[in-house]
Amino acid sequence: MPRIVAYTYNAGIHCPACAAAAHEKGRFRDAPGLPPGTDEHGLPYAAADSEGNLVHPVFSTDEPPVEGWYCETCDAVIAKPDPEHAMHMAMDAPDPIAAMFRLIDTGVVDERDVGNFVAMYADGVWTNPNDGLCEGLAYIAFHGGRALVASWDNQGFWNVEEMTTEEAEAEIATREAESEGEEEDRC
Ligand SMILES: [Zn+2]
């Protein structure tokens, strides 16, 4: 059975908790001619917003857009955006590195997603010649000498961090030197 995941009112989308809070504070009125009763979040079926428009439920079966849905009251993720799309949008943010970490923190993407993204658009990349692509480090350089760095090991562990571009370049040089003469170790 479809669940109510959000509501639209005041020309925006809002999470159930914020809609319930708005109802508690008396922000909605009753639209005339609608049956009494409340839904699963305690909102009256007849709730209307300040402009008199009905508060519409959004169901778990409704298809979100690629940019996802965020509550316009509290900014909670209602529907995750498409990860690929979200990462491209983050690159256009005023602070792309912070935006990318925010995507990880809010569970929109994981470090592996970001790692693959960084490897694909890398300004510098090192992969261990002894084990193919199983171990590596890549970075994207941003203005101000900042770099978004993703590294992965042959256990499938990914790490995303911020370094200076200089540090990222040095890290690659160190790993290049270390991997020379290493045993072949295919993962
Ligand atoms: Zn909310």
Q: Is the pLDDT of residue 186 over 70?
A: no
Please report, for the chain, the start and end positions of each structural domain, with discontinuous segments joined by +: 4-79, 82-182
Taking only the tens place, the pLDDT of each residue in 82-98 is: 999 999 999 999 999 99
CA of 112 to the centre of ligand 1 (A): 28
Taking only the tens place, the pLDDT of each residue in 2-12 is: 999 999 999 99
Mean model confidence pLDDT for the chain:
94
CA of 80 to the centre of ligand 1 (A): 14
pLDDT at 185: 67
pLDDT at 129: 87
Taking only the tens place, the pLDDT of each residue in 41-64 is: 999 999 999 999 999 999 999 999
CA of 28 to the centre of ligand 1 (A): 16
Residues in CB range of 12: below 8 A, 6 or more apart:
72
CA of 142 to the centre of ligand 1 (A): 33
Average pLDDT over residues 26-37: 91
Give the C-alpha distances (Å, rounded to integers) separating 184 from 56, 137, 154, 179: 61, 18, 12, 10
Q: Is the pLDDT of residue 183 over 80?
A: no
SS3 label, residue 114: helix
CA of 70 to the centre of ligand 1 (A): 8
- 146/160 Cα distance (integer angstroms): 13
Q: Is the pLDDT of residue 181 over 70?
A: yes
pLDDT at 96: 97
Taking only the tens place, the pLDDT of each residue in 99-153 is: 999 999 989 999 999 999 999 999 999 999 888 778 999 999 999 999 999 999 9
Q: Is the pLDDT of residue 179 over 70?
A: yes
Tell me how crowded residue 105 is: count the other CB atoms within 10 A of its CB: 9
CA of 64 to the centre of ligand 1 (A): 16
Dihedral sign (CA 86, 87, 89, 95)? positive
Average pLDDT over residues 28-40: 91
Average pLDDT over residues 161-175: 97
